Amino acid sequence: LIILFVTLNIDSFIVIFLFVCLFFQCDNAKGLKAFYDAIKYGPNHLMVFGGVCATVTSIIAESLKGWNLVQLSFAATTPELADKKKYPYFFRTVPSDNAVNPAILKLLKYYQWKRVGTLTQDVQRFSEVRNDLTGVLYGEDIEISDTESFSNDPCTSVKKLKGNDVRIILGQFDEEMAVKVFCCAYDEEMYGSKYQWIIPGWYENLWWESWINSSQCLSKNLLAAMEGYIGVDFEPLSSKMNKTISGRTPKQYEKEYNDKRGDGQSSKFHGYAYDGIWVIAKTLQRAMKYLNATNKHQKIEDFNYTNHRLGKIFLDAMNETNFFGVTGQVVFRNGERMGTIKFTQFQERKEVKVGEYNAVADTLEIINNTIRFQGLEPPKDKTIIQEELRKISLPLYSILSALTILGMIMASAFLFFNIKNRNQKLIKMSSPYMNNLIILGGMLSYASIFLFGLDGSFVSEKTFETLCTVRTWILTVGYTTAFGAMFAKTWRVHAIFKNVKMKKKIIKDQKLLVIVGGMLLIDLCILICWQVVDPLRRTVEKYNMEVCPQAQVIFV
């Protein structure tokens, strides 16, 4: 327990006050004893500053209402303390663990990711963040397609995520489990251009080196799976060059802090502790101004643990906090700090800052040309199954159509020649009428080629069904006409030469026409019955899915 006496020069007034700065070990008994000893044996304290360990801080924060004390923490990030019904006198200058969730939502919207999955370690801290994230994403048109959790072995959960085609994974786990997760991701090939991992960004520098020996995968495989992950955490110091309430810029403060720290270990909470001192100073300043304006006889030195009026004044004054500090704009919303969240990306074995989210303005800023995805574009949030109509190749159709036209021109020339010379002896002996039927049948068959090449890319669905019937009739009639005429002529030759008595036998063309007509009549009866009983209809046939190599799309 550290008792600090602070002298502040505020608007030319020297105000001396006493407050308690509590830096507890994570020992409930020692922490509570230190707190209650300070209350019982020490002077009247105006506020409680501190509280790092969640277990101790939550117990003290819950009891502060009875002591009429406002507590301000600079390092307790547990989401549990955000419950204002349970902890009405608790404030913190550091954003809670849940503060990253609106930032994640903004990032998902920025890249138009509408389908995600979560992977959470079975620890209360991570489960609370995951549950809050579910509430944040609810109603934002973002689907949590799979929610997986694990205790020690994440491989089964990672495999389930892959089975559910989850491409954007929101993870909540510590460094030790992160190594195991990325090892499993490597084994399942859940990394690279098709996947994006978003995990906590508060891990220590080179965090994987401490845990790589406990995993089953090689260092190069782990780094390959980790490449490109995005970390999310609160910003320790503001990146803006504005002067803060102290007159220093965040950079100037950091330099002064490092100079005075020397070789001592740095804490990422030092900026929040510094801004916390200013929050208390400004709170007491507002409280004094209010008392001077409303009650000339009462001062903040009159505060005691039963003076609820002064306690309420302190509480209201702290709620009105709004200034620019070394950690950014210091504003409370229901006791929670509206801070700045930073995004980092793992690139070539180091963390690179790629953007930040301002909770006060609800804005996301992606730093130009810093974020690098493994592919040419951000990963898709799912496998896109795009139905593509199998079409007849237009060049092939054009070539066949050209050849068909040549065939029809030749057939027309033969038909013209046959009609023009029908009275010549040789042509007349070959049965010109039957020849004409063969040519006409061939031309009808040629015409069906044009109709068979007209698929769904050229005509509508309704027209396509009609076209199916028409081309079937044309091809059938054309083939039967041509084949029937040739068959009739062949039959006549057979009938003449089969005459063993060699008697003169004449089979006129009219009889051959009757044979062809009979064949056509049979075809027409079949076609009419087919059309009446079971007409041709358009159906869609599904083929096996194929992966498009140029994009994350599967064509069917």
* Weakest-pLDDT range from 196-205, 478-487, 492-501: 492-501
pLDDT at 386: 77
Instruction: Work out the number of other CB atoms within 10 angstroms of the CB of residue 154.
Output: 25
pLDDT at 502: 58
Q: Are residues 63 and 115 in the same domain?
A: no
Question: What's this model's pTM, rounded to 2 decimal places?
Answer: 0.73
**Tens digits of residue pLDDT in 365-391:** 999 889 999 888 999 998 887 777 778
Q: Are residues 285 and 417 in the same domain?
A: no
b/e for 535-550, b at 16 or more Cβ within 10 A?
ebeeeeeeeeeeeeee
The average pLDDT across 18-42 equals: 65
Is residue 524 classed as helix, strand or coil in its secondary structure? helix
Query: What region does 335 belong to: left with phi over 0, alpha with psi -120 to 50, or beta?
Result: left
Q: Are residues 48 and 69 in the same domain?
A: yes
In a domain, 257, yes or no: no
* Weakest-pLDDT range from 3-7, 202-206, 228-232: 3-7
Confidence category of residue 550, pLDDT binned at 50, 70, 90: low
Which tokens go with 340? 């700045």
Q: Are residues 445 and 504 in the same domain?
A: yes
pLDDT at 52: 83
pLDDT at 227 over 80: yes
pLDDT at 1 over 60: no
Q: Are residues 132 and 220 in the same domain?
A: yes
φ, ψ at 504 (rounded to 5°): -65, 125
Query: Quick one: which of 495, 40, 101, 125 has its CA closest to 305?
Result: 40
The three-state (H, E, C) secondary structure of 250-285, written as one string: HHHHHHHHHHHHCCCCCCCCHHHHHHHHHHHHHHHH
Confidence category of residue 16, pLDDT binned at 50, 70, 90: very low
Q: Are residues 199 and 215 in the same domain?
A: yes
pLDDT at 216: 77
pLDDT at 4 over 70: no
In a domain, 501, yes or no: yes
- How many domains does the structure of the chain reveal? 3
C-alpha torsion 308→311→312→318, nearest 10: -170
pLDDT at 27: 65
In a domain, 387, yes or no: no
In a domain, 310, yes or no: yes
Q: Are residues 25 and 149 in the same domain?
A: no
Quick one: what percent of the chain has pLDDT higher than 70? 92
pLDDT at 41: 83
Asked if residues 118 and 172 have their Cβ atoms less than 8 Å apart, the reply is: yes
pLDDT at 555 over 60: no
b/e for 466-494, b at 16 or more Cβ within 10 A?
ebbeebbbbbbbbbbbbebbbebbeebee
Q: Are residues 32 and 8 in the same domain?
A: yes
- Strand ranges (E), 383-479: 384-386
pLDDT at 459: 81
In a domain, 175, yes or no: yes
pLDDT at 498: 77
| CATH code of the domain covering residue 176 | 3.40.50.2300
The average pLDDT across 291-311 equals: 84
Q: Are residues 129 and 10 in the same domain?
A: no
How far apart CA 217 and CA 180 sit, in angstroms, is 9
pLDDT at 365: 94
The average pLDDT across 426-442 equals: 86
**Tens digits of residue pLDDT in 443-480:** 999 999 888 888 877 888 788 888 888 989 999 999 99
In a domain, 327, yes or no: no
How far apart CA 178 and CA 171 sit, in angstroms, is 9
The average pLDDT across 57-77 equals: 90
Which tokens go with 426? 């040789």
* Weakest-pLDDT range from 14-18, 207-211, 483-487: 14-18
How far apart CA 5 and CA 545 sit, in angstroms, is 73
The average pLDDT across 407-421 equals: 91
Q: Are residues 450 and 515 in the same domain?
A: yes
DSSP structural state of residue 237: S
- Name the residue type at position 78: T
Q: Are residues 79 and 109 in the same domain?
A: no
**Tens digits of residue pLDDT in 310-343:** 889 999 999 999 999 999 999 999 889 998 999 9
Q: Are residues 159 and 106 in the same domain?
A: yes
φ, ψ at 318 (rounded to 5°): -70, -35
In a domain, 545, yes or no: no
Instruction: Work out the number of other CB atoms within 10 angstroms of the CB of residue 426.
Output: 7
In a domain, 548, yes or no: no
Confidence category of residue 6, pLDDT binned at 50, 70, 90: very low
pLDDT at 12: 27
The average pLDDT across 268-284 equals: 94
The average pLDDT across 213-242 equals: 91
pLDDT at 213: 78
Domain span at 147: 98-235+341-382
Q: Which residues pair with 15 in a beta bridge?
A: 8
Residue whose pair of structure tokens reads 């782990």 in the numeric block? 222
pLDDT at 15: 31
